[in-house]
Amino acid sequence: MNHELARTLEAIQPPPVVMVDEERLRPFETDAFVSHRQVPMMAVLPDRESQVGEIVSACAARGVPVVTRGAGTGISGGAIPHAEGVLLVVTRMRALLALDPLGRTATVEPGMRNLVVSEIAAPHGLFYAPDPSSQLVCSIGGNVAENAGGVHCLKYGFTLHNILAVVAYDGEGERLELGSLALDAPGYDLMALITGSEGNLGVVTQVVVRLLPRPAATETLLAAFGSVREAAEAVGEILGAGLIPAALEMMDRVVIEACERYMNLGFPKDAEALLLAEVDGGVEETRDALALVRSILERCGATEVRVARDDAERAELWRSRKGAFTALATVRPDYYTIDGTIPRRMLPHVLDQVYSLAKAEGLLVGNVFHAGDGNIHPCIFYDASVPGELERGEALGGRILELCIDVGGTITGEHGVGIEKLRQMCKQFRPAEIAAFHDVKRAFDPASILNPGKAVPTLNRCSEWGGMHIRDGRVPRADIPRF
């Protein structure tokens, strides 16, 4: 099967790059969720859309799984290959297909890096709003797959809110055009459905992104607090005042010290928590918002409030936030980051519980996250050379995610489920809901070849994990594939 399929893919005109030897496949064995690795049976790298449909069709005819990979920056294991499947790598598909400054749109291929979109738009006074921490290297196709957010998602929204249309190929290799350049389109919102579907429903080959005008004014503040709880409570006060900042980010002492070691930023000494807030818009609007945010921060107990004096100082503050995950490598030999979302009013309580759970497990946790929209990113530190520490860390992560569910939140905000959170999906959703997810997948992917075993667990797995109520010992919907 391996050699025959390889010959079929190599015969596509013009031919894509096809890799079958293990030495060349080894670099693709994992994404940023590095605790799991799997070498694919084969990797294929198309450089144009026409090849993608033929690749998927050839795999569908043989029942061969297809896992789509972009830049490999995902941290939930969504792009980890299938041992008996084809890894479809879209990094060579990175062209700008169209730019319409007047209509404020750009049409790009999935391999284009997130930051490049804004760089292309900048000469026209425009920018692309979603800005994940991996903005420098992550790709637009991956952003669509995970519905990525970023530090400015509080005001400007996630990927879904900043794209207008996508082209994708379903599990049979059929071309789908979803969304519209108009403000609305008839029928079901299938573009919204495929956004965040983690490669389960289609292979994205084109994305029409929405570009926004640069705001006339921007102000950035850094506030220090004597406790994490005070900083978390200040978040609620700012939003309760009716303000929607462009960004409202938080980091605790573990992260502050790591950033200071790594970047020497001159952060306030002895701060237990920092809030990084940004307001933008018209000149007068921004001036008033800055004054209100500052007064709220001071009233909530901020020990120091700094306002960036110019663009260079603003960029330095954001360098601390976007470089935080790199800086954390100075804390312990290994760490991994989980991703959950909670009601913002629950921030103080949940953060207290996260620290308590970590202390009980004897592990260190640092927090750096999108406080404004309740999207937390606890960073769990461990030493992989110590037997059992990774497993303890993963178990702690699972308990934190279940805590998010318990307080009315969800197990992901922007990182996706991948393979990391399948067990918690069984707690988040009832059997009928899991079954509905599989019904949707079958409509797009009848043979279940697209990224199988990711994002949505089978009911059998949920019953084996004990996370689902089973009646009379029977698993509902036994027709759903086991893997």
pLDDT of residue 467: 56
Q: Give strand pairing partners of 132.
A: none
**Cα–Cα dist 415/405, whole Å:** 16
pLDDT of residue 265: 84
pLDDT of residue 326: 87
Over residues 422-449, the mean pLDDT reads: 96
Residue pLDDT, tens place only, 160-202? 999 999 999 999 999 999 999 988 888 999 999 999 999 999 9
Q: Give strand pairing partners of 167.
A: 177, 206
What Å distances lie between residue 194 and 144, 174, 369, 475, CA to CA? Answer: 8, 15, 26, 28
- The model's confidence at residue 208, banded by pLDDT at 50, 70 and 90, is very high
The per-residue pLDDT of the chain, averaged, comes to: 93
pLDDT of residue 478: 45
HSE of 42, CA atoms in CB hemisphere, 13 A: 24
Residue pLDDT, tens place only, 319-346? 888 888 889 989 988 998 999 999 999 9
Class of domain 2-89: alpha beta
pLDDT of residue 1: 57
**Cα–Cα dist 236/217, whole Å:** 24
Share of the chain above pLDDT 90, in %: 85
Domain ranges within the chain, ordered by starting residue: 2-89, 96-213, 217-326, 332-422
446: Cβ contacts below 8 Å, ≥ 6 apart: 171, 172
Q: Which fold has domain 96-213?
A: 3.30.465
Residue pLDDT, tens place only, 11-68? 999 999 999 999 999 999 999 888 889 999 999 999 999 999 999 999 999 999 999 9
Residue listed under structure tokens 């950035």: 220
pLDDT higher than 50, residue 480: no
User: What CATH number should be reported for the domain whose range is 332-422?
Assistant: 3.30.70.2740
pLDDT of residue 476: 43
Over residues 432-443, the mean pLDDT reads: 96
> Structure pTM?
0.92
| 479 CB-contact burial (10 Å; exposed 0-12 / middle 13-18 / buried 19+) | exposed
Q: Give strand pairing partners of 303.
A: none
pLDDT of residue 479: 45
- For residue 275, give the 3-state DSSP assignment: strand
Per CATH, domain 217-326 is 3.20.20.70:
no
**Cα–Cα dist 427/419, whole Å:** 15
The Cβ of residue 395 has, within 10 Å, a number of other Cβ atoms equal to: 15
Q: Which of 171, 12, 195 is nearest to 85 (CA)?
A: 171
Q: Do domains 217-326 and 332-422 have the same CATH topology?
A: yes
pLDDT of residue 10: 96
pLDDT of residue 2: 80
Q: Give strand pairing partners of 251.
A: 274, 368
pLDDT of residue 133: 87
pLDDT higher than 60, residue 237: yes
